[in-house]
């Protein structure tokens, strides 16, 4: 996520707009989720909704997060299939 979640608000807004344009502004209904993130991602993401609200962009953080996740998934897909992991130990 740290590769795809911008730190600057300008880049965050560009990411949100890019995500919405790629979906023709039709992102469908969402569901609230809970995810564990690294301290580096938390440092950016924890203040994002409030910072965007203060700048007049309330309810935009979800599109920033979605855009970052979309870019991450696209990167994973381009890298090809994952190799086999270690078998479970019993």
DSSP 71: H
pLDDT confidence bin for 1, thresholds 50/70/90 = confident
For 11-62, how does the pLDDT look when each residue is reduced to its tens digit (9 = 90+)? 999 999 998 888 887 766 666 777 788 898 888 888 899 999 999 999 899 8
Cα distances (Å, whole numbers) of residue 83 to 24, 74, 75: 34, 17, 16
Please give the average per-residue pLDDT across 63-72, as a whole number: 90
Please give the average per-residue pLDDT across 59-86, as a whole number: 86
Q: Evaluate if pTM is beyond 0.75.
A: no
Q: Give the C-alpha separation, 60 to 55, whole Å.
A: 11
Q: Does pLDDT of 85 surpass 70?
A: no
Phi, psi for residue 13 in degrees, rounded to 5: -65, -40
């Amino acid at each position: 996520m740290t590769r795809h979640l911008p730190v600057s608000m300008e880049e965050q807004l560009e990411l949100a707009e890019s995500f919405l344009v790629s979906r023709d502004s039709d992102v469908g209904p969402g569901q609230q989720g809970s995810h564990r993130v690294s301290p580096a991602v938390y440092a950016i993401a924890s203040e994002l909704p409030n910072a965007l609200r203060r700048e007049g962009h309330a309810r935009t953080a979800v599109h920033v997060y979605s855009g970052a996740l979309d870019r991450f998934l696209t990167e994973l897909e381009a890298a090809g299939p994952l190799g086999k992991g270690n078998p479970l130990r019993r």
